Structure 1
C-alpha cells in the first residue's frame, strides 16, 4: 500500500508515475488517508540482518515482496553512505574511520582506493564496495537514498555561514552524481551537511534532496524550505505524538509542518515493530530501518 504522501512511486510502485517526494497527479484526498503503509527504507541494506553497506546486503535487501505481511519483505528504497577516497574513487561506507567495521585502519578519505576497497567488512567476506558496484546491485525498481558524508575535515557540520566558501571541498560529489544518475533508480540525496546540500543543488538541481536533522527541528525545517528539499529525514525522537519524542527539542509538530510544505517525513533509525506502528500513527511517510520485516505485525493485525 502507498503511504499517504508518496515518498516514491517509481518503476516498481503501484502508481508508477509520481516523482520522489510528491503526490501522484491522479491522487485525491481519498488517496491521502492517515494509516496508509509507509515506505520501507533499508538502512545500509538492513544493517542488523546483513553486513552493512556491502554488495551482498544490497542484493539481499532487494529480494522478496512489497507486501508488508510477506515472509520476506524487500526494501522499497535502500539507503547507502558515500565517501571519496584520496584518489577520487567513491566508496560506500558509513564511518569516517575504517577500523571499527573492517580489518583495515585509516580515515577513509585519506586512504587510496586500493586500500579502502580491499578492506573486509565485519568479517563477512565482503569488502567495501564502490558506488558503481552498489548501484549495479540494486534493481531499477528500488530507490536509492545516497547519504552524503564529509570528504574532508575542512567542512562544517550542519548549517554553514557561507556554503559557497567550502564548495571546493565538495567537488567529489560531481562524481557521485555522475555515477548515481547513470542508473535508472529513483534517487534521493540526503545529508547532515548544508554544504553538501548546497553542492548537490549546484551540480544538478533536479536531483531530489533531503536534509538530515540532528539538533534542531526548526533549523531542519528552515534548511528544507530554503533549499526546496523533496523530503526531510529526522530521528524518531523528533516526532511529536509518539512515546519517543524528546521534549528537549522545540515544541514543533515536525510532521504537520513538513506536510504543510508538501514534504514527506522519513524517520531514522527504526528497530522495533512498536516504533513502526507509533510512528505510522503519527503520520510519518518513510521508515529507515535495520530490519526488513518490522511492518509484518501491523500488516497481519
Structure 2
C-alpha cells in the first residue's frame, strides 16, 4: 500500500470520541520520566517471576522499575489479555487438571476470556528447555493469563501513579489468521487505556508497524516504539511497505515510518544489532533508543556506554544494580 492510500485507509478507522478522550488525558506525554533512564521489566521480568502475570508485574513494581513491558492479544469475545504467545504455550501452561499441555494449545483469538483463564500459567514446565535461562524464576501457582484491565487495576490498588506501561501488540502480518487484525486490536487497546485513564503512562510498541501507524492517527499524542529485528527488516510487510534497503539506516527508516506524528518516537532494536553510531544518529533525529532484550551484565554495561536511553530486560534486578553502580537514576520515586 502506498503512503497516500495507507493514510486514507487509516483515517476511515478514526474514532473522534475516543481520540478526544485520549488527547484530553495525554497532553505532552513522555516515553519515560524526564531525566530518568528507562528500566523496563520484559514481560514483567520473566527471569524472576512467571512471565506476563500479575505476580511478575507486582514483583517488578516492588523493585521500582520505570516501566512494565508486556504483550497483548484479543480473545474471541474481544477482551484485551496479556500474553506474548498467540496460542497457549506448553512451556508454561497447565490445564484445569494440572497437566502440562502436550503441545501448543488453542489460539488466544479462538477462545473466550473464560476459556483462556481456565489455564494455569504460574510456573515453568520442568520438562522444557524454554525455562533453562530462567532457573531462578519463582513459581506462582494459580496465575491466570490476566486482562490488561486487571493490570491497570493492580497499579491503582497499589497506589502506584509512577510506573509506565510499554504495550506490544502481538500481530503478525505474515500470519493474519493467528491473531486479531490491526484495527480491532488497536481499537480495543485504546478503549482500555481510556477507560483506565492511563493515556499519560502508556507507550505502544510493535514489530508490525501497521498498528503504530493506526495509533498515530487515532491517538497522535501516544508515544510509539518501533521494534526491529534482522528478520522483520528484511520483509516490508512488517515495516508499512517501506523497503529498509532503500534507506541509509534503520533510524532513517523509522523516521520515515513515524513521519507526521506528534508523540515521542522510540526505536527499539534487537540489542546485538545496535551500534554506537546508530545511537548517535537516532538521537540526532530526536528519537529515544531502547534496545531489547538485554540479560547479561556485560551487555548492559556496553549499551550504557553507547548512551542508550533505556533497556528492556528479563532481569530488572541485575539492571537495577548496574544502574546504581553507575549512579544512573532509573525511577522517579
TM-score (norm 1): 0.73
Partner of 2:267: 232
Structure 1 152/91 Cα, relative in aligned 2: closer, same or farther at 3 Å?
Answer: farther
Structure 1 287/297 Cα, relative in aligned 2: closer, same or farther at 3 Å?
Answer: closer
- Note if 1:187 corresponds to 2:202: yes
Partner of 2:114: 114
Distance 1:84 1:42 in 2: 22
Structure 2 residues without counterparts, runs of 5 or longer? 1-26, 96-104, 124-140, 234-243, 327-333
Structure 1 260/225 Cα, relative in aligned 2: closer, same or farther at 3 Å?
Answer: farther
- Note if 1:103 corresponds to 2:83: no
Distance 1:269 1:74 in 2: 19
Structure 1 80/169 Cα, relative in aligned 2: closer, same or farther at 3 Å?
Answer: closer
Partner of 1:90: 80
Bigger shift: residues 138-147 or 104-113? 104-113
Q: Secondary structure at the match of 1:280?
A: helix
Matches within 5 A, 1:103-182: 103-104=94-95, 105-123=105-123, 124-138=141-155, 139-150=160-171, 155=176, 169-181=182-194, 182=196
For the aligned residue pairs, the C-alpha RMSD in angstroms reads 2.8
Distance 1:122 1:254 in 2: 39
- Note if 1:267 corresponds to 2:291: yes
Distance 1:275 1:219 in 2: 21
Structure 1 residues without counterparts, runs of 5 or longer? 1-16, 25-30, 32-36, 64-72, 157-166, 242-252
Q: Which has the higher contact order (CA 8 A, sep 6+)?
A: 2
Q: Secondary structure at the match of 1:106?
A: coil
Matches within 5 A, 1:1-301: 19-21=29-31, 38-63=37-62, 73-100=63-90, 101-104=92-95, 105-123=105-123, 124-138=141-155, 139-150=160-171, 155=176, 169-181=182-194, 182-184=196-198, 186-215=201-230, 216=233, 218-219=249-250, 221-228=252-259, 230-241=265-276, 253-295=277-319, 296-297=321-322, 299-300=324-325
Q: Report the structure, 1 or 2, having the larger helix content.
A: 2
Distance 1:141 1:23 in 2: 9
Structure 1 297/203 Cα, relative in aligned 2: closer, same or farther at 3 Å?
Answer: closer
TM-score (norm 2): 0.66
Distance 1:221 1:285 in 2: 18
Deviation per residue, 1:252-276 (Å, 9 max, x gap): x321121011111011111122111
Structure 1 127/168 Cα, relative in aligned 2: closer, same or farther at 3 Å?
Answer: closer
